[in-house]
Amino acid sequence: MAAQQEPQQETYPPPPDLARDAVAQPELYERADADRLAFWHDQAKELLSWETEPTEVLDWSRAPFARWFADGRLNVAHNCVDRHVEAGHGDRVAIHWEGEPGDRRSITYAELGREVRRAANALEALGVRRGDRVALYLPMIPEAVVAMLACARIGAPHSVVFGGFSADALRSRVDDAEAVVVVTADGGYRRGAPAGLKANVDEALGDPARGGGSVRTVLVVRRTGQDVGWDDDRDVWWHDAVDGASEEHEAPALEAEHPLFILYTSGTTGKPKGILHTSGGYLTQAAYTHRNVFDVRPESDVYWCAADIGWVTGHSYIVYGPLANGVTQVMYEGTPDTPTRERWWEVVERYGVTLLYTAPTTVRTFMKWGAELLEGHDLSSLRLIGSVGEPINPEAWTWYRTHVGSGRTPVVDTWWQTETGAIMISPLPGVTTTKPGSAQRTLPGISAAVLDDAGEPVTDGQAGYLVLTEPWPSMLRGIWGDDDRYVETYWSRFPGRYFAGDGARLDEDGDVWLLGRVDDVMNVSGHRLSTAEIESALVSHHRVAEAAVVGASDDTTGQAVCAFVILRAREDAEDAEDAEDEGVGGEDGEALVAELRDHVAKEIGPIAKPRQVLVVAELPKTRSGKIMRRLLRDVAEGRETGDVTTLADSSVMGTIRAGMGGPA
């Protein structure tokens, strides 16, 4: 990494009325700085309802395994729904849901409460007990929220698997968590057509020899009405199990450290990590960050987080944070271009959305489509817009503020991870003078540093490694079933500090600029993908001998998957001949490339499909046999090749370029 100097940018102070009235005022930093643990204790008590209020704050005696608010007891689902009804807000809309085909439902907090209690009873009737894991594989429909809250209510940790993942990816996650129930749907709508989900569940669980054996029941929501296979011994319709269930359900008071969910995320090896989050600390920070970063006014705001519940953003900022704060939100099932590229702006207009939270890749897509598409729509209800998932380049930031925020709304660029559970670095909209492209400051109560290789704080705006220097309430409690990997991945690079895996630098004001991942994790459209996972998918294809995957920069998706593969020699003589003259341009070559791209989509999911697959004769390796991805990235991004002196065979890069028809 090299230090880079941002050109002098315009900065944006908070609008004066917001500076005056914002939920978060400058003294929030002062309170947190004065006594960090007392500050978090206050947040936990002020923002949540406890059956037993905690007297303990942080137990760090078994570091890096943290316990927060450990003697407190609460029920997360009660905090997200029932208590708002008890406080007289039962008629407030919790979710304005819009399906991709245009069907709509508005669900009040009172109705949501009844649904969650019915679903909780249904799960218990299916034999789900406190501590059992439940896998959810669902489209963006209200039942997804209901199922998550029903699990939370009975203390059965959920493991949401993104609906775009393949049957194989689902099976490995179900197996790792040993889930007893899978909640799914017949399908969901995507780009104007029903996409099947139940069929993938059948494939994942169909052959007990391959896994999935822990699952007793598959609970199926009818969404698209498409035909589905059915196993009478295992499959149950959601409407049969839930609709007739009692709407009375006593929410048990669970320990603050009771597991709330597992969410799998890509790491540097091929095996996804099951990130474990627990109840009291997680909910405290989800609610605190949502309230202060988005300046939430539950009586008047209409909030829209356009993520999928399959990612952590959907967990913390569609389900737990917003519902704990009792806000009204919009939930949309489909893609932004269905039926037209104006869909989002129609949604903003229809519900009067005031707060919008999305990813830079979406902003760049809208940029590409052109600002004209927004011009016919009344976006004046928007008062604050947020970004998450990857670094937002200053051009996209400025476009977002100008065209979506009508040149007047604050933009909050929020840095965090599946592992952090909630936002860690972000402007506060009524306090911070924002700089396009910078996530700026740790939130009150959070501490971070940027370190060099030796673990010393970097100076002079140099690039370094982002670390978190103090434990925080919504931190991961570990990796499911793998304590050693937790310690090794996050706490061994800089002992005592949490290593985030991101590069960063601090500018002269001390503001943080994120520089992307420093490990073999790619960020494609804000989704984390591991190079190792895609490489192992590629080598599982019978024609591939070896594969190397890099993330190449892409104008729209941030990074794009770029794969280099070496083919196996074919067994029979005839084939061996055409394997030899099989260049990337040949007809057979093209068909094979298409096949390999589809193979990855099938093994992992369409989001992992490589943008490019290049067939090469050799891969650049160091003498110790490590693939030099840096050089492949140069090729993928069309640059001159950097330093090749550590290559075992320095002619390899020339061979690769020659094979591609590019400059050697």
Binding-site residues, in ranges, read 190-193, 313, 389-391, 413-418, 502, 517, 525, 528, 539, 541, 544
| Min dist. Cβ of residue 501 to ligand 6R9 (A) | 6
> CB of residue 587 vs ligand 6R9: minimum separation in angstroms?
39
Q: Which residues contact 284 (CB under 8 A, 6 or more apart)?
A: 40, 43, 44, 47, 48, 68, 69, 473, 474
Shortest distance, position 170 Cβ to ligand 6R9, whole Å: 18
Question: Which one of residues 279, 417, 489, 559 is an interface residue with ligand 6R9 (CB under 6 A)?
Answer: 417
Residue among 344 and 357 whose Cβ is closer to ligand 6R9: 357
Find the part of the chain contacting ligand 6R9 (CB under 6 A) among 49-57, 209-217, 349-357, 415-423.
415-423
For 81-133, give the DSSP string.
Answer: IIHHIIIIITTSEEEEEE-TTS-EEEEEHHHHHHHHHHHHHHHHHTT--TT--
Interatomic CA distance for residues 305 and 95, integer angstroms: 11
Considering only residues 508 through 537, tell me which ones interact with ligand 6R9, judged by CB under 6 A: 514, 517, 523, 526, 528
DSSP state of 645: T
In the block, tokens 């039962």 appear at 90
Interface mask (CB under 6 A) for ligand 6R9, residues 582-611, using x and -? ------------------------------
Distance CA 381, CA 362 (A): 20
Binding residue numbers for ATP: 389-391, 413-418, 502, 517, 528
The two structure tokens encoding residue 547: 């594969």
Strands 478-479 and 273-278: antiparallel
Tell me whether residue 284 or residue 559 sits nearer to ligand 6R9 (CB atom): 559
DSSP state for residue 210 in the 8-state scheme: G
What are the DSSP calls for 577-635, one per residue?
HHHHT--SSSHHHHHHHHHHHHHHHHHT-GGG--SEEEE-S---BBTT--B-HHHHHHH
| Beta strand pairing call for 235-237 and 65-68 | unpaired
Minimum CB distance to ligand 6R9 smaller for 97 or for 416: 416
Considering only 34-42, 191-199, 386-394, 645-653, which stretch makes contact with ligand 6R9 by CB under 6 A? 386-394
| DSSP result, 126-170 | TT--TT--EEEE--SSHHHHHHHHHHHHHT--EEE--TTS-HHHH
Among 90, 99, 391, 410, binds ligand 6R9 (CB under 6 A): 391
Select 40 or 415, whichever has its Cβ closest to ligand 6R9.
415
What SS3 state is found at 255? strand
Residue 78 or residue 517: which is nearer to ligand 6R9 going by CB?
A: 517
Among 278, 285, 418, 438, binds ligand 6R9 (CB under 6 A): 418
* Closer Cβ to ligand 6R9, 416 or 465, answer by number: 416
Q: Exactly one of 168, 413, 533, 603 binds ligand 6R9 (CB under 6 A); which one?
A: 413
Query: Between residues 501 and 620, which has the closer beta carbon with respect to ligand 6R9?
Result: 501
CB atoms within 10 A of CB 57: 21
| Binding segment (CB under 6 A) for ligand 6R9, from list 147-155, 230-238, 340-348, 495-503 | 495-503
Rounded to whole angstroms, how far apart are CA atoms 634 and 236? Answer: 52
Residue 388 CB, nearest approach to ligand 6R9 (Å): 5
One of 501, 558, 605, 620 touching ligand 6R9 (CB under 6 A): 501
Contact 631, 653 (CB under 8 A): yes
Q: Could you count the other beta carbons within 10 Å of the beta carbon of residue 453? A: 10
CA dihedral 7, 13, 15, 17 (to 10 degrees): 180
Taking the alpha carbons at both ends of the chain, their separation in whole angstroms is 25
Residue 241, interface with ligand 6R9 (CB under 6 A)?
A: no
Known binding-site residues for Mg(2+) equal: 539, 541, 544
Q: Could you tell me which stretch among 49-57, 498-506, 536-544, 586-594 binds ligand 6R9 (CB under 6 A)?
A: 498-506
Site mask, ligand 6R9, residues 267-306, x = CB under 6 A?
Answer: ----------------------------------------
- Cα distance between residue 109 and residue 119, in whole Å: 15
Residue written as tokens 């869909």?
343
**Site for ligand 6R9 contains 265 (CB under 6 A):** yes
Residues annotated in a binding site for CoA: 190-193, 313, 525
Binding site for ligand 6R9 (CB under 6 A): 265, 311-313, 388-391, 413-418, 439, 500-502, 514, 517, 523, 526, 528
